[in-house]
Amino acid sequence: MEEWRYLSFNQCDAFENMAIDEAIFRENQRRKMSPTLRFYGWTNPSISLGYFQDVKNEVNLEFCRDKNIHIVRRLTGGKAVLHEKDLTYSVVAQEKNPLFPPGLLGTYKVINGCIALGLAKLGINADLAQESRSAESLYLQAFCFSTPSQYELLVNGRKICGSAQMRSKGVFLQHGSLLMDFDPQHIYSAMGKSTGDITKEISNLEKQVTSIYKHIDPKINYTELCQLLASGFEEYLGIRLVKGRLTREEGILKEHLLKYKYMSSNWNMEGKAVEWRSKES
């Protein structure tokens, strides 16, 4: 039975969360490590941008400053996510791992199948979207949950989990956001500047999106949810999760990436990466 490293739920700010994910990804490229499953939260409301997004056109910067919403650019592509009442996961593994079919979509299907099995343990029946769907709102098309991509998770036709992925040097990183609750008005205010009908825009969003607490008792906490989701991965893939922590090398690289990349406005606002190198000793 294949063993994966399991990093238990913790909360960090937006910049450290992204630095941790990238450090795991880069060290796996270098050392061909076992897969890692990580669950985490956000200490501040935050917007994570897809790698290619234009922050000035797709985020209301003034609103974010007023509300102390952090903005960080992800290593992965996809659309913007407002991390406020969500649970985030990440999976890092070798592309040639036999548990995953080749290609991005095949990996999406497997990982979201694991999450769907975990949600079923809560009594939430989530289905995989069989095809991508266009956003009803042009204003909110920069928002991840405005439209599902193929094999993303839907509950009664509404998106509950959004994911993004990147691949490089034989390793993939997939991370995603599972909504616990959501505030459509807050999302609407944070994602750009609209000249349209606000009531209609919010109504369109509510038709597209759902969340955990709309289907179950909100008393469940993040730790309990993570345990169920983790068991979904174990059962779906036939693996054993072993609790672990970052390696020394990952920790060093995380701090380097945090200082020189994710705390940099050049990266977060403009997508201009700085040279990164881990220190060997």
For the chain, which residues make up each domain, given as ranges? 3-270
82-96 confidence digits (pLDDT tens)? 999 899 999 999 999
Residue 281 pLDDT class (50, 70, 90 cuts): very low
Q: What is the CA radius of gyration of the chain?
A: 18
Active-site annotation, residues = 144
Per DSSP, the three-state class of 277 is coil
pLDDT at position 196 is 63
Q: Amino acid letter at 195? A: T
pLDDT of residue 218: 75
User: What sign for the dihedral angle of Cα 97, 118, 41, 86?
Assistant: positive
CA 234, 239, 242, 244 torsion: positive or negative? Answer: negative
Q: State the pLDDT at residue 36.
A: 98
% pLDDT > 90, the chain: 59
Each residue's pLDDT tens digit, 90-140: 999 999 999 999 888 899 899 999 999 999 999 999 998 774 444 445 444
- In this model, does residue 38 exceed pLDDT 90? yes
Domain 3-270 part of CATH 3.30.930.10:
yes
